[in-house]
Amino acid sequence: MNTENVKPVDTLQNRQIRCLERLLNLNHELEELEDQKASNELPLWKVLIFDKPCSEIISTVLHVSDLRKHGVTVHMNIKANRQPISDVPAIYFVQPTRENVELIIRDLSNGLYESAYVCFSTTIPRALLEDFAEMAASSNTGHMINQVYDEYLNFVSLDSEFFSLQQPGVFSLIHSPSSTDGQIEETIQQVASGLFSVLVTLDVLPIIRCPPGSAAELLAKKLNQKLRDHAMNTKNVYAADSTKQRPVLILLDRTVDLVPMLNHSWTYQALVHDVLKMRLNRISVDVVNNGVESKMVYDLAPNDSFWEQNSNLPFPRVAESIDEELTRYKNDANEVTKKTGVSSIEDVNADTLVNSTYLKAAVSLLPELTARKQMLDMHMNIATALLKTIKDHQLDEFFEMESDVKNINKATVLACLKDKQKGTAEDKLRFLLIWYLNADNVPASDMEQFEEALKEAECSLEPLNFVKKIREITRMNMMASAANQPTSGQTGDNLFKGFTSLSNKLTDRFKEAGIGGLENLISGVKNLIPARRANTITSIVQSLTEPGSAIKQTEQYLYFDPKSRSGSSESLYTANKRQSFNEAIVFMIGGGNYLEYGSLTDWASEQNPKKRIVYGSTEVETSAEFLQELATIH
634 lies in the binding site for another protein (CB under 8 A)? no
Rounded distance between C-alpha atoms, residue 75 and residue 63, angstroms: 12
Of 2, 10, 52, 69, the residue at the interface with another protein (CB under 8 A) is: 69
Min CB(39)–another protein separation in Å: 6
Of 87, 440, 472, 493, the residue at the interface with another protein (CB under 8 A) is: 87
Where does 254-338 show beta strands of DSSP type E? 282-289, 292-299
482 lies in the binding site for another protein (CB under 8 A)? no
Half-sphere exposure of 255 (CA within 13 A, CB side): 21
- Which range, of 148-156, 409-417, 546-554, 555-563, touches another protein by CB under 8 A? 148-156
47 lies in the binding site for another protein (CB under 8 A)? yes
Cα 633 → chain centroid: 25
Min CB(617)–another protein separation in Å: 24
97 lies in the binding site for another protein (CB under 8 A)? no
- Strand bridging mode 207-210 / 558-560: antiparallel
114 lies in the binding site for another protein (CB under 8 A)? yes
86 lies in the binding site for another protein (CB under 8 A)? yes
Min CB(140)–another protein separation in Å: 8
Min CB(157)–another protein separation in Å: 16
Min CB(158)–another protein separation in Å: 22
20 lies in the binding site for another protein (CB under 8 A)? no
Rounded distance between C-alpha atoms, residue 308 and residue 321, angstroms: 12
3-state secondary structure 407-434: HCCHHHHHHHHHCCCCCCHHHHHHHHHH
In angstroms, the Cα distances linking 133 to 96, 97, 141, 143 are: 13, 14, 10, 11
Of 25, 146, 160, 569, the residue at the interface with another protein (CB under 8 A) is: 146
Alpha helices per DSSP H over 163-312? 170-175, 181-202, 215-233, 259-262, 268-275, 305-310
Among residues 26 and 383, whose Cβ is nearest to another protein? 26
137 lies in the binding site for another protein (CB under 8 A)? yes
400: exposed, middle or buried (C-beta count within 10 Å: 0-12, 13-18, 19+)?
Answer: middle
Half-sphere exposure of 144 (CA within 13 A, CB side): 26
Of 12, 49, 58, 72, the residue at the interface with another protein (CB under 8 A) is: 72
Min CB(593)–another protein separation in Å: 30
566 lies in the binding site for another protein (CB under 8 A)? no
Instruction: With CB under 8 A as the rule, give the number of residues binding another protein.
Output: 64
Residues 6+ apart with CB under 8 A from 77: 49, 50, 51, 52, 55
- Which range, of 42-50, 324-332, 419-427, 572-580, touches another protein by CB under 8 A? 42-50
43 lies in the binding site for another protein (CB under 8 A)? yes
∠ CA 103-109-112, nearest 5°, is: 80
Helix (H) or strand (E) holding 453, with range, is: helix 444-456
**Which residues sit opposite 296 in a β-bridge?**
285
Among residues 150 and 625, whose Cβ is nearest to another protein? 150
Among residues 359 and 529, whose Cβ is nearest to another protein? 359
Among residues 178 and 364, whose Cβ is nearest to another protein? 364
31 lies in the binding site for another protein (CB under 8 A)? no
109 lies in the binding site for another protein (CB under 8 A)? no
- Which range, of 131-139, 407-415, 440-448, 601-609, touches another protein by CB under 8 A? 131-139
Give, to the nearest 10 degrees, the angle between helix 356-393 and helix 268-275.
60
Contact 437, 471 (CB under 8 A): yes
- Which range, of 130-138, 466-474, 561-569, 581-589, touches another protein by CB under 8 A? 130-138
String of DSSP letters for 148-171: EEE----SEEEETTEEE---TTHH
Rounded distance between C-alpha atoms, residue 398 and residue 110, angstroms: 60
Min CB(589)–another protein separation in Å: 26
Helix (H) or strand (E) holding 145, with range, is: strand 145-150
Contact 459, 425 (CB under 8 A): yes
374 lies in the binding site for another protein (CB under 8 A)? no
Min CB(124)–another protein separation in Å: 7
Residues of this chain that interact with another protein (CB under 8 A) are 19, 22-23, 27, 36, 39-45, 47, 64-65, 68-69, 71-74, 76, 80-89, 114-115, 119, 123-124, 129-130, 132-134, 136-138, 140, 142-143, 145-152, 234, 237, 350, 356, 359-360, 363, 367
